[in-house]
């Protein structure tokens, strides 16, 4: 994970990073990455806003919700997401994006770049996989006490919704 994050964020600007700070972190046991589940994807998809702008694939969240009602389609997508993790490969298809520029409201003049907000729209299926990965990492972070308890409210609410979705009592 460190190598992936480091190569993505720290080397972009040819910045060197002092990795000796990692020596101060106590060793944690290596855990396996379990296969994704239907429940994870259905939960992540249920929290996606149907009115969000689509990416370059023009695929709306509502489309995916309908497509994934077919278990075979959902299972094929999960197989693909698991393959991305197992191979350590993020397809270039998911990296394709479209940038739109939106004027900020209530500006007197629109003659400066600061008067606009760029929005990058990625392909919907790639966003969904990233969302599930992010939710899993949040759960792992909290369950291993990597963050302060005062930062837990959002995660607690998400877990409560997940438990309701799969029929577990909280």
Model pLDDT for residues 75-118, shown as the tens digit of each residue? 999 999 999 999 988 888 988 889 888 899 988 888 888 889 98
> Per DSSP, what are the bridge partners of residue 102?
117
Q: How many domains does the chain have?
A: 1
Domain presence at residue 137: yes
Instruction: Record the pTM.
Output: 0.69
User: Do 59 and 123 meet the contact criterion of CB atoms below 8 Å apart?
Assistant: yes
Buried b (16+ CB within 10 A) or exposed e, 38-64: eebbbbbbeebeeeeebbebebbbeeb
How far are the Cα atoms of 22, 96, 99, 114, 140 from residue 59, in angstroms, in the given order? 41, 13, 16, 30, 30
Domain presence at residue 18: no
Domain presence at residue 124: yes
Domain of residue 132 covers: 34-166
Which residue ranges of the chain lie beneath pLDDT 70? 1-17, 147-170
Domain presence at residue 55: yes
Domain presence at residue 14: no
Q: Which pLDDT belongs to residue 159?
A: 62
């Amino acid at each position: 994970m460190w190598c992936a994050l480091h190569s993505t964020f720290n080397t972009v600007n040819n910045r060197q990073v002092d990795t000796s700070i990692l020596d101060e972190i106590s060793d944690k046991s290596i855990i396996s990455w379990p296969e994704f589940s239907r429940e994870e994807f259905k939960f992540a998809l249920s929290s996606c806003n149907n009115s969000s702008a689509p990416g370059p694939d023009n695929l709306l969240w509502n489309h995916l919700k309908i497509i994934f009602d077919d278990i075979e389609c959902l299972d094929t997508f999960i197989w693909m997401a698991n393959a991305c993790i197992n191979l350590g490969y993020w397809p270039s298809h998911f990296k394709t994006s479209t940038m739109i520029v939106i004027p900020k409201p209530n500006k007197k003049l629109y003659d400066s770049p600061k008067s606009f907000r760029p929005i990058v729209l990625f392909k919907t299926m790639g966003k969904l996989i990233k969302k599930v990965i992010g939710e899993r990492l949040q759960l792992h972070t909290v369950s291993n006490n990597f963050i302060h308890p005062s930062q837990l409210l959002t995660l607690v609410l998400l877990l409560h919704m997940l438990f309701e979705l799969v029929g577990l009592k909280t």
